[in-house]
Amino acid sequence: MAKPLQQSMNPSPLSRLLDPAAALGARTAVPSSPSTSPTELFHTPSASSGVGTKREHSLIKRECVLTGPTDEALSRLTEMVRRSTGARINTSCAVRSLLLTLSGAWPRLEDELRSLGVIKLPGNARGREHEREAMERLLAQAIHRALRSSTGPG
């Protein structure tokens, strides 16, 4: 018969993944001032000047699959920002900037997407690429219409 453990074992990665307390800790809100605009984030005095405040950031790693053309577009955007501004940004920074751009259009974006009606997601099987690309173009058109009629990022 097995002896009871004297100390609890480290939980497996799967049990940590399913642990609600661990998930809550990972998704805890990041403290920041309520009226911070994206522009203010870049023009806030630095901590070394003694005037600014230190902000805590929580980064969440995401992974997505891109097609050749979308990967090229993301690389082009990142390189364009680097060349045009001299900023040494990475791809994650470019994606976060795109998402901030969308944040100003949420209500209008939702209206545009609803106007499309129910969309069936094409399967991932080979030979269905053209169906997925057509759906993505449809979504891109709705996003474009929402952005054109929005006031810009919050």
Domain ranges of the chain: 66-103, 104-154
Does the pLDDT value for residue 71 go beyond 90? yes
Does the pLDDT value for residue 135 go beyond 90? yes
Would you state the structure tokens that stand for residue 113, as one six-digit string?
């997407």
Q: Higher model confidence: residue 39 or residue 4?
A: 4
Find out whether 62 and 55 touch, Cβ atoms under 8 Å. Answer: no
Find out whether 154 and 104 touch, Cβ atoms under 8 Å. Answer: yes
Angle, helices 129-148/91-103, rounded to nearest 10 degrees: 60
Could you tell me how far CA 43 lies from the centroid of its own chain?
22
Query: Lowest-confidence range among 11-25, 36-50, 98-112, 129-143?
Result: 36-50
What pLDDT does 33 receive?
46
Q: Higher model confidence: residue 136 or residue 44?
A: 136
Cα 35 to Cα 38, 93, 105, distances in angstroms: 10, 21, 18
Residue 110 CA to residue 142 CA, distance in Å, equals 9
Q: Give me the mean pLDDT over the 89-112 stretch.
A: 93
Q: What is the reported pTM?
A: 0.59
